[in-house]
Amino acid sequence: MGSRIEQLKILDPRWCEPQRPSTVSKAVKGRKICELGRRGKYIFLELEGEAYLVMHLRMTGTLLYGTSVEPAHTRVQMTLEGGSTLLFVDPRRFGTGQVFSDRVELEQFFEFRLGMEPFAETFTADHFVSLTRGSRTAIKAFLLDQRKVAGVGNIYADEALFRARIHPAHPAGRIKRERLELLHGAVLDALAAGIEARGATIDDFRHVDGARGSFQDRFLVHRRADKPCPECETTIVKTRVAQRGTYFCPNCQRPPRSR
């Protein structure tokens, strides 16, 4: 980082909707990159003179730095000082980008859609438990709601629920405090496992190439349908919760007693 953005070419205008490509490039061009930041699943470039380029990779987006070839599905190309390039590649075109011209706007954007960072000191078990009070939604949908806890994705929700032995469809507000405290820790453990598998650390999310072994090999239940549970050998089943593929062990993760 630290280099200047010489050019920002948006090949797919949908990337920055509803902002116009010209608006975005104009706001970004010629500015120096001060910092690379992250909030939840959003990644952003902090630019000199109060400007922020906020991006989301969604399902298939990738940021590529310093490649000589331009892969298929390149949506945005950024030319940096010295001629190196930063590419936003995204086959499925769900990824997004937009600019904010001041810190307050940026904070409001995040405030509106994101809850606490799971690794923040303030994200305590008590905080987590209090969030669930009165919620009748399935615990998995609850975990996937970015306004509750920022950054928990479909895989991590499954993994955390398995570790805490909670059925994904269990209504969040009906889970015993003790179990929710377990889940709080399980979310942190599942996330930490994912970070570790990618060769990153909690404080530095930028390492992607240092991945140690296959990321998928770390899954305990996710995408393990018809395979034995690592705890009890019971066959892992696949269902649908919150419109997402959901994997769990029907023996370890018992459904709530119906009343």
Partner DNA sequence: CGCCCTGTTGGGGA
Partner DNA sequence: ATCCCCAACAGGGC
The reply to whether 4 sits near DNA by the rule CB under 7 A is no
User: Taking Cα atoms as reference points, which of 190, 182, 133, 117 lies closest to residue 156?
Assistant: 190
**Which window, 29-37, 53-61, 178-186, 226-234, contacts DNA (CB under 7 A)?**
53-61
Q: Is 168 in the site for DNA (CB under 7 A)?
A: no
Do 228 and 234 form a contact (C-beta atoms < 8 A)? yes
Contact 201, 188 (CB under 8 A): no
Residue 244 as a binder of DNA (CB under 7 A): the answer is yes
Query: What one-letter code names the amino acid at 251?
Result: N
Quick check: 137 binds DNA (CB under 7 A)?
yes
d(CA 46, CA 106): 10
60 binds DNA (CB under 7 A): yes
- Residue at token pair 């205008």: 13
Who contacts 227 (Cβ-Cβ below 8 Å, separation ≥6)?
Answer: 235, 236
Check binding of 185 to DNA (CB under 7 A).
no
**First-to-last CA distance in the chain?**
57
Contact predicate 51/25, CB 8 Å: no
Site string for DNA, 215-234 (x = CB under 7 A): --------x-----------
Binder among 1, 59, 104, 232 for DNA (CB under 7 A): 59
Should residue 144 be labelled a site residue for DNA when binding is judged by CB under 7 A? yes
Nearer to DNA, 5 or 114 (CB): 114
Residues that bind DNA (CB under 7 A): 14, 40-41, 56, 58-60, 73, 91-94, 113, 135-138, 141, 144, 146, 153-155, 223, 238, 240, 242-245
